[in-house]
Amino acid sequence: MKSGFVAMLGRPNAGKSTLLNQILDRKIAIVSDKPQTTRNRITGIYTDDEVQIVFVDTPGIHKPKHKLGEYMVDTAEKTADDVDVIYYLVDASVPFGKGEQYVLDQLKTSAAPIFLLLNKVDKLSPEEIGKVILSWQERGEFAEIFPLSALKGDNVSELVKVTEKYLEEGPMYYPPDAVTDQPVEIVISELIREKILELTHDEVPHSIAVFVENMERSETGKMQIDACIYVERSSQKGIIIGKNGAMLKKIGTFARKDIEYLIGEKVNLKLWVKVREDWRNKQQILANLGYNEL
């Protein structure tokens, strides 16, 4: 049996969460076309007959503008320490910029082999892919370079096979049927937040958080889940609730389907919205929401 740890690093919106979900063939990390979607370090566990790989999905590395942002960047950079392999994801469809140079500079001190994953190549022609690969070869040395599409699954299974070659013989860290070490409440809160980002589009930025306050079986036998959505302004609360509560109901309906698939049973989901001004800079609120390392 081989086993080891793989850190997934990169700029916001590079496709880290999409790749993790693709490898595990189920959703444990939320996906959005908006940057900085992932806030916590999410662990995904891949196991087959020969290997167990513990993947650590991290927040996108960016210039922080508040305490939450500082936490996210610190989490991502610390994850590069003490892993066996680093996946450095890049959106191959956008030009190289200062943000990518910053990530490259951070990775220079890493002792682990670095896989450069050129994601979103489904947006490029074969000729363009070749040019992107050549340009990245000139920027640094990488153990492996993989053009892939995390969204479509192109070249993902081959990536996992090659990763196995870089791992040593070792123990199975988790039971063979485990897919994450995240508490189910955290995954549920993230699934709800994903639906908010999907359904409200640009009307509500990333100044929202979701906290599961109660999860227990009701007298009817259904799983009862109560969750609170935090926003920073009253106007955002109005958008999330919608006219006559229509948007909040829609968020709940979409989220409930994913939650039921996650836990394998019917649930009753109750949502409400609270205003907490500037919560992203308030340490106590951040700690209550699970950002405990600030």
- For the chain, give percent helix, strand, coil, nearest 5: 40, 25, 35
Q: In the structure, what pLDDT confidence band is assigned to residue 277 with cuts at 50, 70 and 90?
A: confident
- What angle separates helix 184-200 from helix 246-263, to the nearest 10 degrees? 140
For the full predicted model, state whether its pTM sits above 0.75.
no
| DSSP class per residue in 214-238 | EEEE-TTSSEEEEEEEEESSHHHHH
Give the pLDDT confidence of 209-228 residue by residue, as tens digits: 888 999 998 888 889 999 99
Task: Give the 3-state secondary structure of residue 211.
Answer: strand
The helix (H) or strand (E) run that includes residue 161 is helix 156-165
Percentage of the chain exceeding pLDDT 90: 47
Residues 6 or more apart whose CB falls under 8 angstroms from that of 155 comprise: 146, 147, 148, 149
Which residues, 6 or more positions from 174, have their beta carbon under 8 angstroms from its beta carbon? 45, 47, 52, 54, 181
Q: Which two tokens stand for residue 261?
A: 């698939």
Host H or E run for residue 289: none
pLDDT greater than 70 at residue 157: yes
Return the structure tokens found at 118. 């050129």
**Is the predicted pLDDT of residue 229 greater than 70, yes or no?**
yes
Q: Which residues, listed in sequence order, are joined to residue 169 by a DSSP beta bridge?
A: 2
| Calpha distance 147→143 (Å, rounded) | 14
pLDDT in tens, 231-254: 888 888 999 999 999 999 999 999
State the pLDDT confidence band at 263, using cuts at 50, 70 and 90. confident
Structure-model confidence comparison of residues 291 and 191, the more confident one: 191
Give the pLDDT of residue 165: 96
Domains within the chain, CATH numbers bracketed: 2-169 (3.40.50.300), 184-288 (3.30.300.20)
- For the chain, the residue count is 294
Of the ranges 125-139, 167-181, 183-197, 262-276, which is most confident? 125-139
Residue 39: CB partners within 8 Å, gap ≥ 6? 59, 68, 71, 72, 291
Task: Kindly list the distances between the CA atom of residue 82 and the CA atoms of 47, 86, 113, 268, in Å, as whole numbers in the listed order.
Answer: 20, 10, 11, 41
Which tokens go with 143?
């153990």
The DSSP element (H or E) to which 27 belongs, if any, is none
On the question of pLDDT at 67 being above 80, the answer is no
pLDDT at residue 50 in the model: 93
Gyration radius (Cα) of the chain, Å? 20
Q: List the structure tokens of 199.
A: 């359904």
| CB distance 92 to 116 below 8 Å | no
**69 confidence band (pLDDT: 50, 70, 90):** very low
Q: Where does the pLDDT of residue 285 fall: very low under 50, low under 70, confident under 90, or very high at 90 and above?
A: low
Q: How far apart are CA 24 and CA 160, in angstroms?
A: 11
Shortest CA distance to 284 belongs to which of 294, 269, 274, 275? 294
pLDDT in tens, 183-211: 888 889 888 988 998 888 766 656 788 88
How would you class 224 by CB atoms within 10 Å of its CB: exposed for 0-12, middle for 13-18, buried for 19 or more?
Answer: middle
pLDDT tens, residue by residue, 113-154 = 999 999 999 999 999 999 999 999 999 899 999 999 999 999
